[in-house]
Structure 1
Amino acid sequence: MNTPVPEYLADLLQNCKAAQGGKLADYIPELAAADPNKLAVALTTLDGLVYSAGDDDYEFTIQSISKAFVYAYVIEALGREAVLEKVGVEPSGEAFNEISLDQTSDQVKPKNPMINSGAITVHSMIPTTDNTDRAEIIRQFFSKLAGRELAFDMAIYQSEKDTAFRNLSIGYSLRNLNILESDPIEVVGSYVKQCSIKVSVKDLVNMIGVLVNGGVLPQTGERIFSHLTVRQVLTVMTTCGMYNAAGDWLAAVGIPAKSGVSGGIIGVLPGQVGLAVFAPKLDRYGNSVRGIDIMQQMSNDMGLHLLEGIPSSRAIVNDEDITAVKPDVRVYKLNGVLQFAEAERLLRKLQADDHRDNTIIFDLSHISLINKVGQRMLLDGIDRLRADGHDVALVDPEHILPRAKTKLNFEPKVYENLADFDN
């Protein structure tokens, strides 16, 4: 059988193509010339498997999405307290390019690292040796996270640099207040170059895998960030990542996120899943219109809202939980919570297993909770096993799975315990 996730993502894009509105980022000439019809989505699991659909190999510039990763990089390099001395964590309630400073403490500083004043300050703090270009340091770091060599879009870089009047004014204001300690022209130019690194949605979900996985890069097993660094970054993404639309985003989608004016959005649900979307047309806050629509549908469909309060079970089924009770019967004993992340791992396990058995039994007696998406995915898996020629039965003494029939109009046999199957 095949997992239904790729089909779901393709259907999601098809359904979202009707979402209109928004406009390209016309204040940057090169971005104003972007193809408004590009649309892509990608998803990464806790262990780094990537699913994607649409224009998933199309490259666009990372723009402000870079702020989250550079913030994490600098915290890891200098320590959280050193960064908090320079940049706060309070939502600004203002546009991303406002000259927004927190003046409630003894030290005036940018309100948070997700607006330009904070991001320029954080960029200036990147440790360098031998006059190494900060943007090149970040390009190399992003390449490591993405698992491939990334490049600058020099046309976008030059276009942004030539029109960076607002950012230069922010830079001079920061230098005047001694927040920047070096030439604002050099810092702003390097920051703009950081934003011009080219990525696809598949690159982005590979990069955010390190945030999903608590600071460990799934592809290599290397620890990149501490747990505290990840928590700090995800907290600021939650409150500030969508600028002055952060409140609406948190209520409707409920996933720590960061957007960019080229049309990308990333979302991270720690311990479960990472998401990335791309659609160039923006709303008045600078966030992708269709990207928001896609993210909201995924959050609703998969039960991903941060405040759902459903714990994650990392191992829904282990190898020792799969037993053969008869020569042609295999039992999968499921454990803990069955929501999207766990259901995806289960279906992937079923896809990988060599099912020569005629009958497959799912033992649900050790499941403590199953949400709607977990129900749908399990029933879809049953359909796919049936289509492959298998009989399917359930051990469900607590009746946690509704007795609704599957899409193939098949209702599995249900037993109170496994011993009943032999009878």
Structure 2
Amino acid sequence: MRSPIPDYLTDALRSVAADTSGATADYIPELAQADPDRLAAALCTVDGHVYSAGDADVEFSIQSISKPFVYALALADRGFDEVLSKVWVEPSGDSFNQISLEPESGRPRNPMINAGALVATSLSGPPGAGADQRFERIVDGLSAFAGRRLEVDEAVYESELHHAYRNRALANMLRAHDIIAEDPLVAVAGYTRQCSLLVTTDDLAVMAATLANRGVNPVTGRPVVSAPVVRQVLSVMSTCGMYDGAGDWMTRVGVPAKSGVSGGLIGALPGQAGIATFSPRLDRHGNSVRGVDLFQRFTADMGMHLMDVPGTAREAIADRYVDGDGPDAIEVIELQGDLRFAAAEHVVREFEVRPPVTSSILLDLARIGTIDDVGRRMLLEAVRRLTIDGHEVFVLDPDQVLPDPDPGTGGRITVVDDRGQVRQR
């Protein structure tokens, strides 16, 4: 059976493709020339399985999406106390490039706005590191998040640096307050170069999933930063990642997120998945128009709002075995715990990776606590696809935890009680 998730992502892209509102970032000539019709979405689970659709392998510059990851490197390299003494964690309520500094100290209000990001860049690497050593640390760190070596788009770097007047003003103010210790032009060059690293939508999903996975890259299995650093980064992303639209984002979407003016958008749902979208047309906040729409759909469809607190998670599949011999044999899959998106994804992937070996299948839900709406829909879609593949599917549901068990067009399901009697067909 083929997983329904790639089909879902393709359908989601199709649902927003007609929206041509917004515009590319015209204040950076190289970004203004981007193809506005590019569109992609990717999802990476915390065990490293990547699903994607659209232009997910097309490279573009990471821009401000680099901010949470470089902030993580600064925290890891310099420690919380030093970093917090130079850049705070309060939402600014301002756009990304505003001069948002504390009146007395000159400390930027958070590391997601440009002023704070300039500080985080300057704090990456060991104390006393030069510009080249610091940038190498940033490339190595972001490459570890992505699981592959990232390279700089030199054309974007030159174009952006040539027009970085506002960032130069910010850096000069930071230097005047002794928040950064180096030449402001050097600081701006390093930050601009960081923003010019090339990534794909698939890369961004893996990077976000590394945050969702407590700092361990789920594809390579390698630790990148510690769990306390991840908690700090995700907290700041939740309150500051979408700039002056952060409050609206958290109430409507509810996923710690970060956008970039090249059209990328990431979200990290702790313990479940990293999500990324790409579409270059931006709204007035500098966020991807179609990316925001996609994330709103993902939250609605997949129950990903951070405040939708799941029950205690366990392995979804407790056991899988064949009962009986010959034509009467039936493959039994015992499920357990609470079936939400992450658990349901494991179940449908199990059928894709290990197709059933018998014509009859029994899904045993006796040890399932609850099934939310997305878990129900994913399980029933799996049943529909198994039926189309030629299997007869039975469900043991003594506590009736699977409401309205209708798998839809082409699907067939037989619900039995704990005595093996047919309750519903």
The TM-score range, normalised by the shorter chain, is over 0.9
Equivalent in the alignment of 1:163: 163
Deviation of 1:134 (Å): 2.6
Is the Cα–Cα contact under 8 Å of residues 153 and 198 in structure 1 kept in the other structure? yes
Write the mapping of 1:132-143 to structure 2, written as runs, cut at 5 A.
132-143=132-143
Is the Cα–Cα contact under 8 Å of residues 60 and 199 in structure 2 kept in the other structure? yes
The superposition leaves residues 222-251 of structure 1 with CA deviations (integer Å, 9 ceiling, x where unpaired) of 222211111100000000000000011111
Q: Distance in 1 between matches of 2:254 and 2:369?
A: 24
Equivalent in the alignment of 1:323: 321
Deviation of 1:339 (Å): 1.2
Deviation of 1:145 (Å): 2.3
Change (3 A) 1:43 1:312: farther
The superposition leaves residues 84-128 of structure 1 with CA deviations (integer Å, 9 ceiling, x where unpaired) of 11110000000110110124xx74410000000000011111125
The superposition leaves residues 40-62 of structure 1 with CA deviations (integer Å, 9 ceiling, x where unpaired) of 11000110111111111111100
Q: Distance in 2 between matches of 1:226 and 1:140?
A: 16
Q: SS of the counterpart of 1:132?
A: helix
Q: State the TM-score, normalizing by the size of structure 1.
A: 0.95
Deviation of 1:410 (Å): 4.4
Q: State the TM-score, normalizing by the size of structure 2.
A: 0.95
Q: Distance in 2 between matches of 1:62 and 1:236?
A: 19
Change (3 A) 1:380 1:148: same
Write the mapping of 1:11-410 to structure 2, written as runs, cut at 5 A.
11-103=11-103, 107-128=105-126, 129=129, 132-311=132-311, 313-318=313-318, 321-327=319-325, 328-408=329-409, 410=411
Pairwise CA RMSD: 1.5
More displaced 10-residue stretch of structure 1: 304-313 or 54-63: 304-313
The superposition leaves residues 302-336 of structure 1 with CA deviations (integer Å, 9 ceiling, x where unpaired) of 01011112236251114xx1122222111111111
Deviation of 1:411 (Å): 4.8
Is the Cα–Cα contact under 8 Å of residues 320 and 331 in structure 2 kept in the other structure? yes
Q: Distance in 2 between matches of 1:225 and 1:135?
A: 17
Q: Distance in 1 between matches of 2:312 and 2:138?
A: 33
More displaced 10-residue stretch of structure 1: 244-253 or 125-134: 125-134
Q: Distance in 1 between matches of 2:251 and 2:279?
A: 22
Deviation of 1:208 (Å): 1.9
Q: Which amino acid in structure 1 is aligned with residue 123 of structure 2? A: M
* Aligned length, in residue pairs: 417
Change (3 A) 1:312 1:31: farther
Is the Cα–Cα contact under 8 Å of residues 141 and 224 in structure 2 kept in the other structure? no
Q: Which amino acid in structure 1 is aligned with residue 357 of structure 2? A: R
Q: Distance in 1 between matches of 2:263 and 2:229?
A: 26
Task: Structure 2: state its 5+ residue gaps.
Answer: none
